[in-house]
Each structure stands twice: as C-alpha cells, then as structure tokens.
C-alpha cells in the first residue's frame, strides 16, 4: 500500500523534510567525496597520458613518479637506443620540489621542458607563455589561483628565483602540481648532472612491445613500465591517500542517513502505533504493515537521494570556479552505487520500526 506510505509521509511535513534532508546530506557527502576522488584520479593520469611514450623506463624498483625516486644516468639512453625494436628513447626529468610562499610550503613537481627532444611540455597552457624561457616557470592555474601567484611574480625554488611566465592546466594533483622550466633550469633545480629521472621509450612499428620490454629489462638497473601501467601506478597514489578518507566519510554519511531516517520513521511509527494496531485488527497482515513502513523509508530515501544528487551536481558544476582544488567527476556508476547504498540504508533503518510494529497488540484498539 504505497499510497498509505506516501500519505503518512506527506501528513508530517516537518518530519519528511528532516528525513529527506538527512539523506540528502549523506548523499551529498558521499557523492562529493567520490567525485573528488574520481576527479583527482583522472587529473593525475591526465598529464601522464599526454606524455608520448609506450614505455616508461625507471630505475629498478621505482614504479611511479612520486614514491621511490628514480635516477638514471644519461648513458642509459645509448643502451636503450641499441635495444632492438626501440624507436626512440628520450630523457624525462622531473621531481617534487617545495618552496615557501607567504609562509606556506608549496609543492611543485618541476618538469624539464626539453624542447630539443620534444618532451616535458605542459599538457595545456591557458594563459601566458607556452614554453618557458630561461629563468622562467609555468605553473598550474589551480595553484596560481589558490595561492594567488600571478604571471610576472617571482618564486624562489631551490636557491634560484624563477619568474612565472604562464599557467598550464590539468596538472594539479592533491598536494602538488606540475610546473615546467627549461631543461637547463630544471637540471640545476633538480640537481641532475649527467642524469635524468626517466626515459620515455617508443617502440618501432611492428615490433612486439612485450619482447622489447624484456630486452630492456635485461639490464638489471632499469624497469620498463607500460604507459597504462604507469598511469595506473600514479593514480594509485590518489587511491591510497583517498580510500581511507572515502571509507570514513562513507561510514559517516551512512550513519547520518540511517540515523535520520531511522529516527524519523521510528517516531512516526510510535505516533501511529494505534493506527497500525487498527490495521492489524481489520486484517492487514504483518508483512503488509512492514511493507508500509519500508515504503516510507524508501520513499524518503529516494527523495533524499534526488535532492542530494542534485545538490552534488550543482556544487560540482559551480564550486570549481571558487575553489580551484575542487575537481570532481561524478560518474553514472558512482551515482548508481550510491543509490544502492541509500536504498540499503533505508531498508536497514526500517528494521527497528518494523520490530516495534511487530509488538503492537491489535486487541489494544478496543481500549479507548
């Protein structure tokens, strides 16, 4: 009897608002954090995908750009060029470097923009110069905006002073962002005389990529990692940082949502205990009564989900303009599992009211 469930809900508008609001809050929370996770995961991969390489060659044991440092002597390049099936091998230098700005430590991942080899250019420059000149640096727009750094400002990095020459986009990752300096400046900042961090290898047409990788890895000092794998390894950093947070917020969201629906449905069930007793007396089965209560919880949850999801999408669309770090992506898949969680939440939180309902004695209805 869905109509009874809906009528009961609508009768108590304040309570309905509270339960819908509670569910909306938890959906908003879960969806936003999931969206941020997804957004940041994509961002970190976005730049790496633009780098032209079939294989990333790292110092043995280094699997990504951030965890274990990878330093390779430039001489490795000759070895790589000599491997059968390698079309090109280019050095890629980049490392995390911090500088102080307005009393705050800002982390950049400085990349050598190697014009000669056509490696290490920004993915997209949105303002200013596209290629840094000597003594210049291109930083990510998100950092520029959040830290209020303008084109023309100078920033002190590793004992050098670099002038901001442009803003790039798509290189902001959580606690740091990609920045681009000339090969010479980067080498002095990164202190890599005669060395680089990675080599980017492309494979000749027709060569079996796996075989080429095996031949490269015959050198015990290097690992060859496919582009997809390398993207994934780097994305995992976001996952490792975020999963515990997501789990905690997911639990908080679920707890809030369940408490609010549970309490509102429970109080409404108690208030309507007599009416439920009447229904039992006139022959409505327990199972039908439980359905009414579960339907109330589920209806409130569906409304709450719709509101929460709408808010999440709205915030998703607007917040990035005000908070540059707020990079979100809400996927259908995520919307679907959050909906499923919401429904489970509603059903579980009806258990307590349903238990209360089971104890109502229909004979009570004859007492005035």
Return the SS3 of 54: coil
Q: Tell me the CA end-to-end span of the chain in Å, nearest whole number.
A: 27
14 lies in the binding site for other proteins (CB under 8 A): no
4 lies in the binding site for other proteins (CB under 8 A): yes
How near is the Cβ of 285 to other proteins at its closest, in Å?
4
3-state helix, strand, coil in the chain (%, to 5): 55, 20, 25
10 lies in the binding site for other proteins (CB under 8 A): yes
Q: Are 101 and 150 in contact (CB under 8 A)?
A: no
Stretch of residues binding other proteins (CB under 8 A), selected from 113-121, 244-252, 279-287, 347-355: 279-287
Q: Are 32 and 316 in contact (CB under 8 A)?
A: yes
363 lies in the binding site for other proteins (CB under 8 A): yes
Q: Are 120 and 127 in contact (CB under 8 A)?
A: no
How near is the Cβ of 262 to other proteins at its closest, in Å?
21
Complete DSSP assignment for 107-152: EEEEEEEBTTTTBS--SEEEEE-SS--TTEEEEEHHHHHHTT--TT
Task: Tell me which of 286, 290, 319, 320 binds other proteins, using CB under 8 A.
Answer: 286
DSSP annotation of 181 reads: E
150 lies in the binding site for other proteins (CB under 8 A): no
368 lies in the binding site for other proteins (CB under 8 A): yes
Which one, 4 or 209, has the nearer CB to other proteins? 4
Q: Both tokens of residue 42?
A: 């994509």
String marking each residue 341-360 x if it binds other proteins according to CB under 8 A = --------------------
Return the SS3 of 304: helix
User: Residue 134 to residues 143, 165, 181, 197: CA-CA distances in angstroms?
Assistant: 21, 10, 8, 21
278 lies in the binding site for other proteins (CB under 8 A): yes
Which one, 241 or 286, has the nearer CB to other proteins? 286
Task: Tell me which of 46, 232, 275, 334 binds other proteins, using CB under 8 A.
Answer: 275
Task: Tell me which of 3, 78, 206, 220 binds other proteins, using CB under 8 A.
Answer: 3
For binding to other proteins (CB under 8 A), which residues are involved? Answer: 1, 3-4, 7-8, 10-11, 274-275, 278-288, 361-363, 365-368
């Amino acid at each position: 009897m869905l109509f009874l469930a809906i009528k009961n809900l609508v009768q108590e508008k304040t309570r309905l608002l509270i339960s819908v609001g509670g569910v909306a809050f938890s959906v908003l929370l879960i969806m936003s954090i999931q969206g941020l996770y997804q957004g940041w995961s994509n961002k970190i991969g976005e730049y790496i995908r633009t780098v032209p390489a079939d294989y990333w060659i790292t110092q043995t044991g280094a699997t990504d750009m951030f965890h274990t440092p990878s330093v390779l002597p430039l001489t490795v390049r000759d070895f790589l060029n000599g491997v059968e099936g390698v079309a090109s091998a280019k050095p890629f230098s980049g490392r995390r470097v911090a500088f102080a700005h307005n009393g705050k430590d800002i982390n950049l991942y400085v990349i050598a923009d190697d014009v000669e080899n056509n490696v290490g250019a920004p993915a997209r420059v949105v303002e200013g110069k596209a290629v840094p000149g000597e003594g210049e640096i291109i930083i990510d727009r998100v950092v520029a905006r959040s830290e209020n750094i303008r084109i023309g400002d100078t920033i002190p990095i590793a004992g050098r002073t670099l002038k901001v020459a442009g803003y790039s986009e798509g290189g902001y990752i959580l606690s740091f962002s990609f920045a681009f300096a000339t090969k010479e400046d980067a080498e002095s900042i990164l202190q890599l005389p005669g060395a680089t961090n990675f080599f980017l290898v492309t494979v000749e047409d027709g060569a079996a990529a796996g075989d080429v990788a095996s031949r490269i890895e015959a050198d015990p000092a290097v690992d060859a990692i496919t582009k997809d794998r390398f993207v994934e390894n780097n994305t995992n950093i976001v996952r490792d940082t975020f999963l515990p947070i997501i789990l905690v917020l997911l639990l908080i969201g679920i707890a809030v949502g369940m408490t609010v629906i549970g309490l509102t449905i429970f109080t409404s069930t108690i208030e309507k205990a007599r009416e439920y007793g009447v229904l039992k007396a006139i022959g409505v089965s327990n199972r039908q009564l439980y359905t009414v209560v579960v339907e109330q919880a589920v209806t409130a949850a569906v409304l709450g989900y719709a509101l929460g999801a709408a808010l999440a999408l709205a915030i998703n669309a607007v917040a990035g303009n005000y908070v540059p770090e707020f990079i979100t992506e809400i996927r259908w898949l995520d919307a679907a599992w959050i909906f499923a969680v919401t429904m489970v939440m509603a059903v579980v939180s009806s258990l307590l009211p349903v238990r209360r309902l089971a104890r109502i004695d229909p004979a009570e209805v004859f007492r005035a």
